[in-house]
Structures are given as structure tokens and as C-alpha cells.
Chains A and B, each alone.
Chain A
Amino acid sequence: MLSVGAYRPARVVTNDEVCEHIDSSDQWIRERSGIVTRHHAAPEEDVVDMSVAAAEQALAGSGIAAEQIGCIVLATVTHLWQTPSAAAMVGHRIGATNAAAFDISAACAGFSHGLALADNMIRGGSAEYVLVIGCEKLTDMVSPTDRGTAFIFGDGAGAAVVGPSDIPGIGPVVWGADGSQHEAITQDAPWNALRDGTTDHFPMLAMNGPQVFRWAVFAMTPVCQQALDAAGITVSDLDAFIPHQANLRIVDAMVKRLEIPESVAVARDIVDTGNTSAASIPLAMDRLLESGAAPHGGTALLIGYGAGLSFAAQVVTLP
């Protein structure tokens, strides 16, 4: 990874504001999830806009020009056009005239999937520089009156430029999917239900919290260990732990179960940013680096896990 870029929409939304539409409280939200604020994109701001902002920042920090990018991989589930891809539109806007471009749909694990693809592409010779973006406008797909989801999700974008190196800076990915649990996190109706009138509302995100919590804490923690093993390191070798920011209690449970030492910086960006799905890992990484909590060039364990259910984890060298 050569650089990371971040974009958080200007509008900050507090728990109290969220509670104007759901029967809940600031205290309950903090206890349940750790979230204090999240960002909401402006009505006219979309996934392409946010991705461009994060991508331009990542490019600026990378030292390479847009024309040098060989591929753009954009992870999102909230680009509301089936086609063309958000990646193609982003490529056009940033001047990546030589880049292939495609979107990937792996929900909250999308960014780690994208990093693995970038790594493989560069090793395989399909591209020299890859722009990996994770971006969501979840407020388009979350009902403000759904007590189970309204307080959790937020909007934002993160991006990384990945390039060749003499020493591997992205470890082997440990990834997979469990489609038997596809109903745990899902759009509550397909688009044709809206067309055919078999649903009475714009499809929204529905989630079975306890089921996802159970999977995240008990099935994903071993995946973290496998990623460490695949990279040939232990938790003590880490400078940072950057799990997808789904819920602060999941982060804390993972830290406890992995016995991550106090010396390791743990990403807790969800407190300010909420759960931004595919954007959460690059946003959290950017925050740790920018605040000085994690060192540039340090070793970090990333794990994305979410709808599918799908997951991907890898150890990386921070930009």
C-alpha cells in the first residue's frame, strides 16, 4: 500500500438526532454499539462523488499520477445503478485513462477483498498500480425508523493506492463466504419487487443483530488468527488491529479473544463514524495513521466481515 485517502461527509449526526425517529436513547446506542456520531452524505452526494474525493486524496499521497493506474476496484453495495459501474465513473472523473474498472459486492468485507485482488493483479502482472476504494451511502438503504439499523450505519469513502514492491506489503488473504446465512444481513426485497408492486417501500437493509454478532465474534476471530499465521506473525508483532467497524463490542470481543496486547493500536473509528460497511477499514486506517496512533510502515491486521455472509482478512504493511 502506497497511500490511503479518506472522505467523510460534512454532516455529522448525533445519537439524539437519530433518536428523533426511533424509540431509543443516546445512552442505549453507546452501550449497544459504542457509536456517538456518524456522517450522512448530502442528498446530491453519491457513491461516485465520495469515492472520487477519497481517491484523489490517496493519489496525492501516493506519488503516482492518475494515468499510471492500471485498475480501479471499487467495493460498494450502495451504488444505485446496476450499470455502469461506479469504478468506471470514478476513473473518468479522476483522469485514470489507462485503468480497467469494476465494482465488487462483498459488503463490509469489500475493501479487504479489493486489497487481495490488487495484490494478486500486481503479482500476476495484470496491473502495476491499483486503486482500491471502499465506499458506501448507506443512508440510501437504511430506514431512519428501523430501530435495529437506523443508528448503526453511516456514509463515507476510503481509498488506497497499491503498487509493486520488493518486499511483500500485503499478506496472504484468508477469505471465504457462508451463503447459508445470506438472510442475516440483506436488502429486504429485490428491485423487481418494487417494480412489480409486491413491496410497499423502497428496499432497505435488514439485519439480524444477534446472529451477526455471534458469527463475527466466534467465527471471525479464528479467521484473524489464520491471517496472522499465514503472514507468519503473532499478535505481538502487530502495530495495529483494524477490524471492520461493525460494532464496538465486536471489536472489543475480538481484542479480548485474540489476546491483543495493549501496545497494539486498535481501530475504534466506529465511535465517530458509525458502520460504513466497505469504507470502514480504510477510514479507520486513515484515522489511526493521521492521529499517530499507528506508525506509517507499521504492521496491521485487517479483517472485513459482513453480508453474504462474506469475509476477508490479511496482514498488511501500513502506508
Chain B
Amino acid sequence: MATQQEILAGLAEIVNEVAGVPADDVQMDKHFIDDLDVDSLSMVEVVVAAEERFGVKIPDDDVKGLATVGDAVAYIEKAGGAA
């Protein structure tokens, strides 16, 4: 199971891949839409990549609640722990 740091680093790579955002900008307090310019369609690609990378499932309904990078990291950590 990945640590918070590992999840954050993995997410940063994914967001960079999908949306071209510099990995260093992907920090816990950053808002996907307002700060990183990652809209809901790009979030779909980020979420699917995260599912594959971290071995978790993130249903569409839950994606709406992932406003910040920190929200996503916490979700993935919790989902990974429950597996």
C-alpha cells in the first residue's frame, strides 16, 4: 500500500501526463479546477490512470467530491487501505 508521499508523487506524474501541468505544481492544497486548470473531462483521465496505478476504484459519484489534490490523495489512501 502506497504512502501519502508516494500517492502524491504518482498523482503529480499522472496530472502532468494528462493535462501538462508541471508535476511540482501538484501539491496537496491545490484545487484541480481553479489552481491546476484540470477540468472535469481531464479528471476522468486522471481518475482512470489513478485507478490503474494504485489498484483502487473511484466511482463517478465520488469523483465530484475530489476538489483538491489533498482530497484525491486521502481518498486513494483510504481506498487502498480498505482493499
Main secondary structure of the interface of B (DSSP, over half): helix
The chain A residue sitting closest to B43, CB to CB, is A210
B40 neighbours in A (Cβ, 8 Å): 209-210
Contact A253 B63 (CB under 8 A): no
Which residues from 24 to 52 on chain B have a C-beta closer than 8 Å to any C-beta of chain A? Answer: 39-41, 43-45, 47-48
Q: How far is the CA of A247 from the CA of B39 in the complex (A)?
A: 14
The verdict on A191 contacting chain B, using a C-beta distance below 8 Å, is no
Contact A209 B48 (CB under 8 A): no
The chain A residue sitting closest to B60, CB to CB, is A211
Interface size grouping (class) on chain B: 10 to 19
Contact A214 B44 (CB under 8 A): yes
Contact A217 B43 (CB under 8 A): no
Task: Encode A221-259 as 1/0 by CB contact (under 8 A) with B.
Answer: 000000000000000000000000001010001000000
Task: Encode B52-66 as 1/0 by CB contact (under 8 A) with A.
Answer: 000000001001000
The verdict on A32 contacting chain B, using a C-beta distance below 8 Å, is yes
B63 neighbours in A (Cβ, 8 Å): 210
Contact A249 B41 (CB under 8 A): yes
B43 neighbours in A (Cβ, 8 Å): 210
The chain A residue sitting closest to B63, CB to CB, is A210
A31 neighbours in B (Cβ, 8 Å): 39
A213 neighbours in B (Cβ, 8 Å): 41, 44
Which residues from 197 to 212 on chain A have a C-beta closer than 8 Å to any C-beta of chain B? Answer: 208-211
A32 neighbours in B (Cβ, 8 Å): 39, 41
Supply 26 A–B pairs (Cβ within 8 Å), ascending by A.
A31-B39, A32-B39, A32-B41, A208-B60, A209-B40, A209-B41, A210-B40, A210-B41, A210-B43, A210-B44, A210-B60, A210-B63, A211-B60, A213-B41, A213-B44, A214-B44, A214-B47, A214-B48, A214-B60, A217-B44, A217-B45, A217-B48, A218-B48, A247-B41, A249-B41, A253-B45
| Chain B residues in the interface with A (C-beta under 8 A) | 39-41, 43-45, 47-48, 60, 63
The 3 closest A-B pairs by CB, nearest first: A214-B44, A210-B40, A213-B41
